[in-house]
């Protein structure tokens, strides 16, 4: 009798665990679904990543459309974009000065930046759409490269290239962006975008992923300004 009672208790405990696991998984799935829907519908809800290697735990969360509102205006707004010369993934030197007369978006990003990966697909689409008007994007990688060990730097460069390929980036990707951040006011948060008009003047600065509509409006501003 005691053995039968023990078996019944064990069965009840097992059933209880199964039910608990099911309820827990349901709530977890609902939370993940809500999080995914929030990211898809409101990109700016998660738009800032500290400018250093990290993961989702280091991503700052801000309310929609308030990323720039929480930050002071860039001192570079309305001023000439600081010139720079960086290497692209093919080893070619690329300077901002060579794009004089063309509207340019300078987009600071990194392979470990989640919000960067969120905005890059629509940047690529907008690049295709507005390239016939002379528009160009320079994707400046903020990933650090080992300056003392060439083999390690080569591996890091290869990882940037792989990330660019996975994200289907269709515009120049420049490496060594950490060497020019001070010229652009210090890039403490990623992504960060500087929209430059045909005269080389910065007409908009966006910190965070923003939205595709916002990016397109700033591209149009850069194209029209200085024309």
The string of pLDDT tens digits covering residues 155-177 is 888 999 999 999 999 999 999 99
pLDDT of 202 higher than 50: yes
pLDDT of residue 155: 85
What pLDDT, on a 0 to 100 scale, did the predictor assign at position 197? Answer: 97
pLDDT (mean) for 51-70: 44
Alpha helices in the chain (DSSP H): 2-41, 114-130, 150-166, 212-224
CA dist., res. 206 & res. 204, Å (int): 7
Q: What share of the chain is helix, strand, coil (3-state, %, to 5)?
A: 50, 20, 35
Identify the three-state secondary structure at position 214: helix
Burial 53-81 (b: 16+ CB within 10 A, else e): eeeeeebeebeeeebbeeeeebebeeeeb
Dist CA 217 CA 220 (whole Å):
5
By the 8 A CB rule, do 41 and 28 touch?
Answer: no
Q: What is the DSSP letter of 24?
A: H
């Amino acid at each position: 009798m005691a053995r039968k009672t023990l078996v019944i208790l064990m069965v009840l405990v097992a059933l209880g665990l199964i039910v608990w696991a099911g309820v827990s998984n349901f709530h977890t799935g609902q939370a993940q679904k809500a999080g995914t829907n929030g990211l898809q519908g409101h990109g700016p809800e998660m738009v800032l990543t500290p400018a250093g290697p990290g993961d989702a735990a280091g991503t700052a969360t801000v309310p929609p459309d308030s990323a720039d509102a929480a930050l002071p205006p860039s001192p570079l707004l309305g001023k000439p974009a600081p010139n720079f010369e960086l290497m692209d993934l093919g080893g070619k030197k690329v300077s901002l000065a060579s794009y004089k007369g063309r509207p340019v978006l300078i987009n600071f990003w990194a392979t470990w930046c989640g919000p960067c990966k969120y905005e890059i697909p629509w940047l690529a689409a907008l690049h295709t759409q507005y390239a016939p008007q002379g528009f160009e994007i320079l994707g400046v990688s903020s990933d650090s490269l080992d300056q003392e060990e060439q083999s390690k730097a080569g591996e890091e460069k290869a990882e940037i290239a792989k990330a660019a390929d996975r994200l289907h980036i269709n515009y120049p990707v420049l490496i060594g962006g950490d060497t020019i951040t001070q010229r652009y006011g210090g890039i403490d948060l990623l992504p960060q975008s500087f929209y430059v008009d045909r005269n080389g003047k910065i007409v908009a600065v966006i910190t965070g992923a923003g939205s595709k509509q916002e990016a397109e409006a700033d591209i149009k501003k850069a194209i029209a300004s200085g024309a």
